Amino acid sequence: MTAISPHASVSAPASEARTSGRVFNFGAGPSTLPDDVLKQIQQDVWNYRGSGIGILELSHRGKEYDKLIAEIDDDLRAIGNIPRNYKILFMTGGATSQNYIVPANLLPPGGTADHIVTGYWAENTLADARQYASCSNTKATIHVAATSADKNHSYIPADADIKYSASQGRGGPTYVHITSNNTIYGTQWHRLPKIPEGAFLVSDACSDFFWKPIDVTKFGVIYGGAQKNMGTTGCSFIVIRDDILERANKDIPRMLQYGVFSREESRPNTPPTFAIYTVGLMAKWIKAQGGLAALEKLNREKAGLVYAALDANTGFYTPHVRKEDRSFMNITFACKGVGAKEGGGGMEMDARFLADAGKAGLAVLKGHRAMGHGGGMRASLYNAMPLAGAQALAEFIGDFAKKNG
């Protein structure tokens, strides 16, 4: 592969707006990929590393693929400071399939999992885990330790509000499940919950893994779909500590077993080779940016610009989330009820915002329907969103409020 060069456009100013015919894509996932990564893909689809075979056609048992997955493992460990006593696995079925794969592997017979429910995906995870517990012979219990549903998931619960199962007269949980970034509502954990002794933390980090350096050793399992910060659709990543992997259940179907994926280098069957390859390109790109510390700085700057524009226009916009729990990845807001019925949330103005933004090359900003009031707006600022995109959006937010306020 030709080296991925430091990427001028991620930190270029808004005045150097895109000239390539592409727009700034604020979609929550699949989401924008860096220009350099897309160009490399274009080359590799035709001829992967001089093999004469394109990446879409490459055998998952050949020596090029052996080399590729070894390189991806090394690169992800180096970038994410992932210790050797953790395995990195790739599976299919997205983050959603981990909703049952996690309990199927990790809940011992009669065990308990505690969930902290902070949004739409966390609710799905809870429902699927409960479904798993109810239809299996594990006699497992899924306990809700805390939820932010009372305020439409606009905050992250404090430690004092988390009631683990142990305190409810049951045995302690095997693990505590959190969703580190709530993609739809736009909250993010900026500290980790204090969990009961003996339990490990499982984190759905689908929408914020690799946004900044983290201490992986604080977690037992971290998982997500790759299609936001780390690549494109088709593969999920699982980072799992060895001792947890070793005691994972072995009486479940083979294609659900973490142990099988670990032993067979994430290819017990034909894996999603293209999606995994794209994770590899993202890893190289992250390295070329200066690693996660450099990306964190940039990600903070991008989100800071957009939040500042919203905060400068509080008479016009309502951000959804309590300030201290704001996500650096997904920024959610709506126009106030201008021209709408009281409590109507400014839906007509939201629609105008989205239409005008689209004309300005700022695309896929519509919020999720689960937010209510038509969804409002959501700007996703993952790793590959250039600074120029955040600058352009921040300027647009200010200009739109002036024009329509």
Q: Does 96 bind ligand PMP (CB under 6 A)?
A: yes
> Two tokens at 315?
């008479």
Give the residue numbers marked as catalytic: 121, 204, 228
Distance (Å, rounded) from C-alpha 119 to C-alpha 53? 43
Pick the closer one to ligand PMP by CB: 272 or 345: 272
Q: Does 26 bind ligand PMP (CB under 6 A)?
A: no
Q: Does 183 bind ligand PMP (CB under 6 A)?
A: yes
On whether the CB atoms of residues 174 and 199 are closer than 8 A, the answer is: yes
Pick the closer one to ligand PMP by CB: 72 or 95: 95
Q: Does 318 bind ligand PMP (CB under 6 A)?
A: no
| Smallest separation, CB 307 to ligand PMP (Å) | 20
Residue closest to 230 by CA, chosen among 191, 194, 281, 175:
281
Determine which residue in the list 204, 277, 285, 384 makes contact with ligand PMP, applying CB under 6 A: 204
Distance (Å, rounded) from C-alpha 403 to C-alpha 405? 6
Q: Does 206 bind ligand PMP (CB under 6 A)?
A: yes
Determine which residue in the list 27, 111, 157, 225 makes contact with ligand PMP, applying CB under 6 A: 225
Determine which residue in the list 94, 157, 259, 345 makes contact with ligand PMP, applying CB under 6 A: 94
| Smallest separation, CB 119 to ligand PMP (Å) | 7
Q: Does 129 bind ligand PMP (CB under 6 A)?
A: no
Determine which residue in the list 207, 262, 266, 332 makes contact with ligand PMP, applying CB under 6 A: 207
What SS3 class is residue 71? helix
In angstroms, what CA-CA distances link 63 with 11, 59, 229, 274, 276? 37, 9, 28, 16, 16
In one letter, which amino acid is 212? K
User: What letter would DSSP give residue 47?
Assistant: -
Pick the closer one to ligand PMP by CB: 28 or 392: 28
**Strand spans (E) along 112-189:** 112-117, 141-147, 175-179, 181-182, 187-188
Total binding residues toward ligand PMP, as defined by CB under 6 A: 12
Pick the closer one to ligand PMP by CB: 99 or 138: 99
| Smallest separation, CB 80 to ligand PMP (Å) | 18
Stretch that binds ligand PMP, among 65-73, 93-101, 162-170, 333-341 (CB under 6 A): 93-101
> How many other CB atoms are found less than 10 A from the CB of residue 405?
13
Determine which residue in the list 95, 202, 238, 334 makes contact with ligand PMP, applying CB under 6 A: 95
Determine which residue in the list 24, 65, 121, 353 makes contact with ligand PMP, applying CB under 6 A: 121
> Two tokens at 247?
């005691």
| Smallest separation, CB 330 to ligand PMP (Å) | 8
What SS3 class is residue 325? helix
On whether the CB atoms of residues 190 and 325 are closer than 8 A, the answer is: yes
DSSP-assigned letters across all residues of 88-108: EEEESSHHHHHHHHHHHHHPP
Pick the closer one to ligand PMP by CB: 260 or 329: 329
Element (H, E) at 274: helix 273-288
> Two tokens at 392?
């352009």
Pick the closer one to ligand PMP by CB: 102 or 397: 102
Distance (Å, rounded) from C-alpha 174 to C-alpha 113? 6
Q: Which residues bind ligand PMP (CB under 6 A)?
A: 28-29, 94-96, 121, 179, 183, 204, 206-207, 225
